[in-house]
């Protein structure tokens, strides 16, 4: 029999599945901070260690410690971001696939996360879901949010784990079945969002080249559906602190900080999600991923 939590006194639980350390801070961190402070048990699960990532912060490209052992540095950065937001954290333990470049694209490294068969890659997440028993799970859409092989694989294992964790016939050795009630895609980058921010900046004579350039890369017809907008006005500074904790990956003067939080408060003060699947009835749009569960 598949368990599911229905008692209103149950502590609400959320699992956010991400590909690499830093993804949790750039995608939905403010809403995680809000939910932690509302008493929700939030667990971030990171599929890979980010071993094949580069040092993206130009100010740290000569950092000898980071260059010598980037995986260890990224683990410390992850721990620092965890402390800022306050979530629990687990590593699935897979190896970063890297982002292939060239024409034709080279093969992914043997044994890396995105090369694994789906069941092998999903089993640890199934075990985690059955043990943590979340009511809500968040992940990436089928394009990975952007087409990094590990992001696409994160989507695939999340969808599989959502289904398999609830199936008593699948791998009973991984724990008692658990049915996650709602599954969301993180929808942090949309034409709607950038358009609203650009309009606000233009109206206040503060146009941003970064935002105007982002508009050129987004088409409203390709926007994902936003079903759920979580007000994070009071948590934007925590998101920024979590981003800065990933010092090798995030330039404190770069894109993520191009628009001040004073602007976001007025123009677009939400973290956005797309409800992919719900095992309870819902009324859309929502302002809470736990709508129907509280």
> Which residues are annotated as part of the binding site for Zn(2+)?
20, 23, 151
**Count of CB atoms situated within 10 Å of the CB of 50:** 27
- Which residues line the annotated binding site? 20, 23, 151
Give the per-residue SS3 of 16-43: EEECCCCHHHHCCHHHHHHHHHCCCEEE
Query: Are 183 and 227 in contact, with CB atoms under 8 Å apart?
Result: no
Copy the structure tokens of residue 88: 């629990």
Task: Give 220-285 as a DSSP string.
Answer: GGGPPP--EEEE-GGGHHHHHHHHHHSTTT--TTSGGGSS-HHHHHHH--EEEEEEEEESS---SS
Closest by Cα among 88, 14, 6, 11 to 288: 14
Residue with tokens 């080249």: 209
Closest by Cα among 289, 18, 286, 15 to 137: 15
What residues does 18 pair with on adjacent strands? Answer: 46
Copy the structure tokens of residue 108: 């992914």
Q: Which residues, in sequence order, are CB contacts of 92 under 8 Å at separation 6+? A: 45, 46, 47, 48, 124, 125, 128
**Strands of 228-231's sheet, edge to edge?**
88-94, 41-48, 13-18, 136-139, 182-186, 270-278, 228-231
């Amino acid at each position: 029999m598949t368990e599911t939590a229905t008692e209103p006194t149950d502590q609400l639980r959320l699992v956010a599945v991400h590909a690499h350390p830093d993804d949790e801070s750039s995608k939905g961190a403010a809403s995680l901070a809000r939910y932690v402070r509302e008493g929700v048990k939030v667990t971030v699960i990171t599929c890979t260690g980010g071993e094949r990532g580069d040092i993206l912060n130009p100010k740290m490209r000569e950092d000898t410690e980071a260059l010598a052992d980037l995986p260890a540095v990224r683990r410390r950065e992850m721990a620092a971001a965890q402390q800022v937001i306050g979530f629990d954290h687990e590593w699935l333990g897979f190896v970063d696939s890297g982002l292939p470049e060239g024409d034709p694209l080279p093969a992914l490294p043997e044994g890396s996360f995105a090369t694994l068969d789906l069941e092998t890659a999903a089993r640890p997440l199934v075990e985690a879901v059955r043990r943590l028993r979340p009511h809500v799970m968040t992940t990436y859409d089928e394009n990975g949010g952007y087409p990094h092989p590990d992001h696409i694989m994160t989507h695939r294992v999340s969808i599989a784990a959502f289904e398999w964790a609830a199936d008593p016939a699948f791998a009973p050795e991984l724990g008692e079945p658990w049915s996650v009630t709602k599954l969301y895609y993180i929808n942090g980058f949309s034409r709607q969002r950038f358009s609203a921010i650009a309009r606000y900046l233009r109206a206040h004579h503060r146009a941003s080249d970064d935002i105007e350039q982002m508009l050129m890369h987004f088409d409203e017809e390709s926007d994902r559906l936003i079903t759920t907008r979580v007000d994070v006005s009071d948590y934007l500074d925590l998101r920024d602190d979590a981003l800065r904790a990933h010092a090798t990956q995030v330039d404190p003067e770069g894109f993520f900080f191009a628009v001040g939080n004073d602007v976001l408060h007025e123009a677009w003060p939400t973290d956005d999600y797309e409800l992919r699947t719900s095992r309870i009835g819902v009324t859309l749009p929502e302002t809470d991923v736990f709508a129907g569960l509280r």
